[in-house]
Amino acid sequence: MPRVKRGTVRRAKRKKLEKLTKGYFQNKSKLYKFMKEAADKAGVYAYAGRKQKKRDYRSLWVMRINAAAREHGMSYSVFMNGIKKAGIELDRKSLSELAARDAAAFATIAAQAKAAAGIA
């Protein structure tokens, strides 16, 4: 079997890991074995975090809509049911932006939802 000399490849691989783990605590940024472990674990956390972020934002939108709907005398579920019946096709993200930034626009939507839900 031929001998393999991998000086530049090995160095490049290590430099890439050093760049990824720069600033990590103690040996996680200095020793190759621990750099590898730390970078792998960071990748796992990053992947999970991208999924978690979607859940976090949706929950924030629901909280904002719920708070604004309660100001208009409805719960979140009644409000969402009302806008579905009224045929308003706004998603939670845009509804929460209206609730947070444009109270007048949200008030008109809430009035329509209330009428469609049959609440006096």
> What's this model's pTM, rounded to 2 decimal places?
0.79
> What is the torsion angle, in degrees rounded to the nearest 10, for the CA atoms of residue 32, residue 33, residue 36 and residue 37?
-150
Q: Which domain holds residue 97?
A: 11-117
Number of domains in the chain: 1
Contact 109, 95 (CB under 8 A): yes
User: What CATH code is carried by the domain that includes residue 31?
Assistant: 1.10.1900.20
Answer whether residue 3 is part of any domain.
no
Measured CA to CA, the distance from residue 50 to residue 112 in angstroms comes to 36
Interval 10-42: pLDDT, tens: 899 999 999 999 999 999 999 999 999 999 999
pLDDT, tens digit, 9 for 90 and up, residues 38-96: 999 999 999 999 999 999 999 999 999 999 999 999 999 999 999 999 999 999 999 99
DSSP the chain: ------HHHHHHHHHHHHHHTTT-SGGGGTSHHHHHHHHHHHHHHHHHHHHHHHHHHHHHHHHHHHHHHHHTT--HHHHHHHHHHHT----HHHHHHHHHH-HHHHHHHHHHHHHHHT--
Residue 52 lies inside a defined structural domain of this protein:
yes
The owner of tokens 């579905």 is 84
User: For residue 98, what are the CA distances in angstroms to 31, 67, 107?
Assistant: 51, 12, 9
